[in-house]
Every structure is written in structure tokens, then in C-alpha cells.
Amino acid sequence: MVRRGPVVLMVALLVAGCAAQQKGADGTAAPGVTDTTIKIGGVLTKTSASGYSTKDAEVGAKARFERANAAGGVHGRKIDFLGAEDDAQDAAKGDAAAKKLVQKDQVFALVPVHAPNFGGAAFLEQQGVPWFGWATGPQWCGTKTGFGYNGCLAPKQGAGSQTWWGRQVAELLGGAEGKSVYVQTSDSSGSKYGGTTISQSFTAAGFKLVGVNSGLPAAAPPPDWLPYVNKIMTSNGGRAPDVVVSVIAGTKFNVGLYAALKRAGYKGVLTDATSYDVAILQDPATAQALESVIAAPMFEPFESSAPEIAQLKQDVEKVAPGTRLTQHLAIGYWAADIFLDMLDKTGKDLTRERFLATGNGSYVYENAGFGKIQYPKDHTEPNGCGALVKLEKGAFQVAKNMKCFDNVPLK
């Protein structure tokens, strides 16, 4: 009996360990899930050769998870957040990071995923692993496992395409009748594609499209902006357009373009998706170039009086006092928020299969922070929601609160 004691103890420990790991109704174990915890990790572009970084999304996700844990978790389980891996804006590294999280760390899901060149989508889809974040490319579209908080921004021809940006600007200007728009993109495939969808957003709102220029090199800002400015300033029958939309990735590009347009006497509306960034206020020259520019974030601005934004600020301050609020932080926060809602609606009997069945089975979630998300519809089209922020006298102000509009088929 004494000799068999260690064996009996080992068996008891194994049985206890198996009991602690959550099993579904079919008896199969759910990776990363126990009776009291759910293991989660993310993939971000924390570092890159260009300096682009989405690392703040980790703080946003942690803040939302910590509030959930403080309230007792979801169905008695708290989120064990491992933090996020860095893909360094390299698709191969993103694939390796996803495999590490799933195969080695045994996470239940990936939250947040915020990496423009994320390379782990095919692996996660094949393994049936849910992932949540900011949909910025085609890898988010047509999946059953990828849940972008803004849907699919790269719809196929004939699928729904967003109209919110054009309609929000139209409402801001008191209507689009008789007003023209010019769209400037770079020669990258993503920028060109954005030029197509955003052009249609403005024409659907009633603007007259007077030009789309995709000849700008994406590698670096041009030494001379004059050729681009001349095209813009004469695009509307020899006159300047009422609105110029920049679909260019990078503040340096927008600063150069806007400064050159202002020197040429442009007085119309300048708008883009990336200029809502508190970091630009630290450089007087950059802030001056972006003065009066209207940014178009796909979440409710931090300057909003909405209770959901007050809650976000409170959550972030608890986990990281004094943290600067950025778009990337908001993206991590709202991706985590949607994941938690889907988790709650799945119920206590949790497996990946049941979770995905919930997410892909007429799932709807509305929140003033990001608008409205609907799956499976939003696997193939954007959620159609966004806000406008204007930089005035060195400070951001809400120009239009978050609002959702119907999509139209992409031509």
C-alpha cells in the first residue's frame, strides 16, 4: 500500500486536472478554458521599420478585461489575458505568433488582433480559433472565425459597401447637392481599394466625384507635392473641389499634402481616416498642417459625452493611469468588449464550436462606442458606422457623433 501511494496521488491529480478543464456537452475539452478562467492572447504590430505601432491596443483590451474580471468574470470565469505578441508588421511573424498562442499557449481566442499585415488568418480559420480586432484588410473577410469590430472593409463586388463617411460629411455640410469630391490615394493595392469604396461612399451621399488619383508612390512622401496639388485644384471644371479625401497611410503624407494645398489657397474640406491622433499635437508644424482637418474614426471620439466613453476612460485610468488615449487603444477596448458580449451570449457551456455558433448565428450587438455589429452579415461587408472629429485651435472636437448608415452594393 505504501508503494502504491505516489501512483494513487498521481492519478488523483490527473483526474482533478481534467475536471478543472472545461468540457462541452459532447465531452471534448475546450482549449484555454477551465471552470474559472479563459485564456486569451493577442497579436499586434508593436514595432515596425516605419515606426508604425498598434501597441496601445493591448492597454485597451486589458482595461476592458479587467473591468469584466472585477465584476466576477463571464459566467464565473475570469479572463486570463496573456498580453499580445508582436508581428513587427511581417505576415510570416504574424502567422508564427498565432501558432504560438494556439499551439503552445493554448489560448481559447485571439483578442486583440490589430496588425495591418496579419498573416495568421488562414491558420486560425483552419483551426476554428476565434479572433477579434480591427478589420483593415481582406484577411478579415469571408471567414467564420475573424470578427472585426467594424466588419469587413474589403467587400467583394456586389457586396455591401459603406456609405457612412460620405453621409456624415454631407450632414456636416448641410447636404451634398451641388458639392464635389476628389479622392487622393497612393499606388498601394490597399489604398487603391480604399479609394474605390470611399469614392462610392461619397457619391452615394450625393457628392459629384471629380477625380481619383492613385499615382502617389506609397513608399515615401514625394519631394514635390505640386503636381498632385495642381490636379486637385483644377479637378472641378478648372476649380477646386469642395471636399478632398485622403486615403493615404501615414501622417507624413497627409501633412505634406495638406500643407501644400493650403499654400495653394485651398479652402474646402480636408478629411482622412488617420489624423485623429493626439500625438500630432506635440509637433506645432504637424498640428498646423492638420488644423481644420476632419478625421473619420470608426468609434465614438474620446471627446464625446457618451456614458460609454466615460466608462472607457475610467477603465483605462484604473489599469494604466495617465495613459494617452489613441485610436489603437480604442480598437483594443472595443474588440475586447464585443468578445465579452459574445462570450456572455454563448453561455456557461463553452467550447469554440458553441462560441462560433453564437457569433455566426444572427448575432447583433449595439453600443454607442462603436455603433452596431451584425454577424454573419459583417463577415462580408463593413458595419457601416463612424464618427467625425475636427482639429480646431490645437484641440480635437466632435464634429459628428457615431452613427450607422445602410451599405450599398459595391460597384
Contact in structure between 124 and 102 (CB atoms under 8 Å): yes
Q: What is the chain's length?
A: 411
Q: Which residues contact 4 (CB under 8 A, 6 or more apart)?
A: none
Q: Which residues contact 162 (CB under 8 A, 6 or more apart)?
A: 153, 197, 201, 381, 382, 384, 386, 405, 407
AA letter at 93: K
* Residue 236, CA atoms < 13 Å, CB-side half-sphere: 20
Per-residue pLDDT band for 106 (boundaries 50, 70, 90) equals very high
Three cell numbers at 243? 471636399
Q: Which residues contact 259 (CB under 8 A, 6 or more apart)?
A: 225, 288, 289
- Other beta carbons within 10 Å of 410: 17
Q: Which of helix, strand or coil describes residue 212?
A: strand
Per-residue pLDDT band for 7 (boundaries 50, 70, 90) equals very low
Residue-level pLDDT at 250: 75
Contact in structure between 342 and 363 (CB atoms under 8 Å): yes
Kindly tell me if the per-residue pLDDT of 15 is higher than 70. Answer: no
Residue-level pLDDT at 220: 85
Over range 66-72, report the average pLDDT: 98
Residue-level pLDDT at 279: 85
Nearest CA-CA partner of 401 in 325, 328, 298 = 298
Cα separation of 247 and 273, whole Å?
A: 7
Over range 34-40, report the average pLDDT: 97
Which of the two residues, 285 and 130, has the higher pLDDT score? Answer: 130
Considering the chain, what is the average pLDDT of its residues?
92
Over range 196-214, report the average pLDDT: 97
pLDDT digits over 245-273, tens only?
Answer: 999 877 889 999 999 999 999 999 999 99
Residue-level pLDDT at 28: 54
List, edge to edge, every strand of the sheet that includes 395-404. 208-216, 180-186, 243-247, 269-272, 294-295, 385-392, 395-404
Three cell numbers at 84? 499580445
pLDDT digits over 346-364, tens only?
Answer: 999 999 999 999 999 999 9
Residue-level pLDDT at 46: 96
Contact in structure between 288 and 280 (CB atoms under 8 Å): no
Kindly tell me if the per-residue pLDDT of 233 is higher than 70. Answer: yes
Three cell numbers at 300? 465614438
38-47, 191-200, 226-235, 310-319: least confidently modelled range: 191-200
Per-residue pLDDT band for 13 (boundaries 50, 70, 90) equals very low
pLDDT digits over 285-325, tens only?
Answer: 999 999 999 999 999 999 999 999 999 999 999 999 999 99
Residue-level pLDDT at 48: 87
Over range 88-101, report the average pLDDT: 96
Percentage above 70 pLDDT, the chain: 93
Q: Which residues contact 406 (CB under 8 A, 6 or more apart)?
A: 163, 384
Cα separation of 133 and 335, whole Å?
A: 5
- Other beta carbons within 10 Å of 26: 8
Percentage above 90 pLDDT, the chain: 82
Residue-level pLDDT at 21: 58
Residue with grid cell 495613459, as numbered in its chain: 323
Residue-level pLDDT at 10: 42
Nearest CA-CA partner of 333 in 59, 97, 75 = 59
Over range 70-82, report the average pLDDT: 98
Residue-level pLDDT at 295: 97
Q: Which residues contact 53 (CB under 8 A, 6 or more apart)?
A: 45, 46, 47, 328
Tell me whether residue 175 is exposed, middle or buried, using C-beta atoms within 10 angstroms of its C-beta: 0 to 12, 13 to 18, 19 or more.
Answer: exposed
Q: Which residues contact 347 (CB under 8 A, 6 or more apart)?
A: 75, 354
Ramachandran sector of residue 106 (left: φ over 0; alpha: ψ -120 to 50; beta: rest): left
Residue-level pLDDT at 29: 65
56-60, 73-77, 280-284: least confidently modelled range: 280-284
Residue-level pLDDT at 23: 61
Q: What does the angle CA 281 – CA 297 – CA 330 come to, to the nearest 5 degrees?
A: 80
Q: Which of helix, strand or coil describes residue 181?
A: strand
Residue-level pLDDT at 189: 83
Kindly tell me if the per-residue pLDDT of 9 is higher than 70. Answer: no
CA distances (Å), origin 40, targets 59, 102, 328:
14, 10, 18
Cα separation of 393 and 262, whole Å?
A: 16
